[in-house]
Amino acid sequence: MTKRKYFGTDGIRGKVGEGKINPEFVLKLGWAAGRVLGNGDPGKVLIGKDTRISGYMFESALEAGLVAAGMDILMLGPMPTPGIAYLTRTLHASTGIVISASHNPYYDNGIKFFSASGAKLPDEVELAIEAEIDRPLVTVDPARLGKVTRVEDAAGRYIEFCKSTVPHHLDLSSLKIVVDCANGATYHIAPHVFEELGAQVTVIGADPDGFNINSKVGSTHPEALQQAVLQEQADVGIALDGDGDRLIMVDHTGATVDGDGILYIIARSRMAHPDGLKGPVVGTTMSNLGLELALRELGVDLVRTDVGDRYILAQLDANNWTLGGEPSGHIICRDRTTTGDGIVAALQVLAAMVLSGSNLRDLSMGMQRMPQTLINVGLGKAVPAEVMKNQAVVDSVAAAEKTLGENGRVLLRPSGTEPLIRVMVEGREATLVTQLASEIAAVVESVTAA
């Protein structure tokens, strides 16, 4: 496959004002996307964003570029990424555009796209957009310029969709829930979904100011949620990330349940119904070995892909399977929606709790996590491919794999969204796993600093 010049594993992302994340490039990106996705004809494009301050700037830049390419635009305002995917389908748009850096801090931002079907763009379409970016911008004839309107009921439409993904008779009135919206795009949506299904809801992380998105709250910082669950004596906590496509949960004791645990619970619940789970569960190279073993006990295989929900979805689509996800909390219930959706995934777990009469802790106990250590090493100016091929790094990985034998594994990979090398070691002995991960990370760090 041709190497992509601008797109990463999840759109285009970086620090605002640096590299490609600037108004000039984003305007050109909007124009190029309009040229490719409109295919020379007027088309309808949705634009939504999360709550970070730079969203206003990039919203305007995209708008200008798309209009110059002759595309009509429907503006959604703050809206979760999976909500934009859903509305792209139901409003019959040619594409949906998300302005978000997901779980990253406010000073980062990014652009990602959905196709008319609500799925991530195929590689060949991204390559076509990249080729167009490198051409001179030519505005269409004034008579063909696009128009811009705002969708006033976007939030309400998505709230109703989320509720429709669980049985219509589901009653959450027996549950006391704490919801952490990460000061992000779900702040005006997630609380209403759970309240309208009857739950008693306490909300944190729902006061965005443009700068506090993902700051000490949300799925990447569950400590605030853990504390709130204990203080409120709640049954369960739900932590979303800044754009609403990730989910981490907290049980009544304050213990976290990550994406692997959530996948296990949903898979087990689906198996209670004859047509509830089709095919294996799809995970990634980062999925815990404990998930694989627990699913095997249920008679279900775990199929691994590269890291990234686009690869999980591609595997699900290719085989018509229904469930996949990542430890970070990207959960795709393909029998419900087309992309990772934190609210929808949370609802599937809550439904499993209510229908089984079990609490979250009991439901998650069927999966025993293998000790796993993940260390992120900053790249600085180092080139990821060169670091990965460095002989000292290769030797350190080989030595660790020999020590672990068949009782563990080592994974070294560059992040697709940040300038990092991720070092992951997994095995049966926690002390050994931590030691080996630290040793490999120290070698990687010495190479990047050289």
Q: Which residues are catalytic?
A: 102
SS3 assignment, position 261: helix
Instruction: Find out whether 96 and 46 touch, Cβ atoms under 8 Å.
Output: yes
SS3 assignment, position 105: coil
Give residue 146's Cα distance to chain centre. 31
Q: Rounded to the nearest 10 degrees, how much is the dihedral formed by the CA atoms of 354, 264, 162, 167? A: -40
SS3 assignment, position 245: coil
Structure tokens of 216?
């000490």
Instruction: Find out whether 274 and 352 touch, Cβ atoms under 8 Å.
Output: no
Please report, as a single letter, which amino acid is at residue 71.
Answer: M
Closest CA to 272 of 212, 343, 357, 197: 357
Q: What backbone torsions phi and psi does residue 360 show, to the nearest 5 degrees?
A: -65, -40
In angstroms, the CA 264 to CA 255 distance is 16
**Separation in Å, CA 150 to CA 48, 54, 116, 245, 343:** 10, 19, 19, 23, 24
Structure tokens of 372?
């796993």
SS3 assignment, position 431: helix
Structure tokens of 242?
């800044």
Please report, as a single letter, which amino acid is at residue 300.
Answer: V
Range 96-113 burial, b when 16+ CB lie within 10 A, else e: bbbbbbbbbebbbbbbbb
* Distant-in-sequence, close-in-space partners of 388: CB < 8 Å, separation ≥ 6: 412, 414, 421
Residue 11 pairs in a beta bridge with 8
How many helices (H) does the chain have, and how many strands (E)? 15, 18
* Distant-in-sequence, close-in-space partners of 342: CB < 8 Å, separation ≥ 6: 80, 82, 186, 190, 219, 238, 240, 241, 244, 245, 246, 247, 329, 331
**Separation in Å, CA 345 to CA 124, 165, 366:** 30, 9, 19
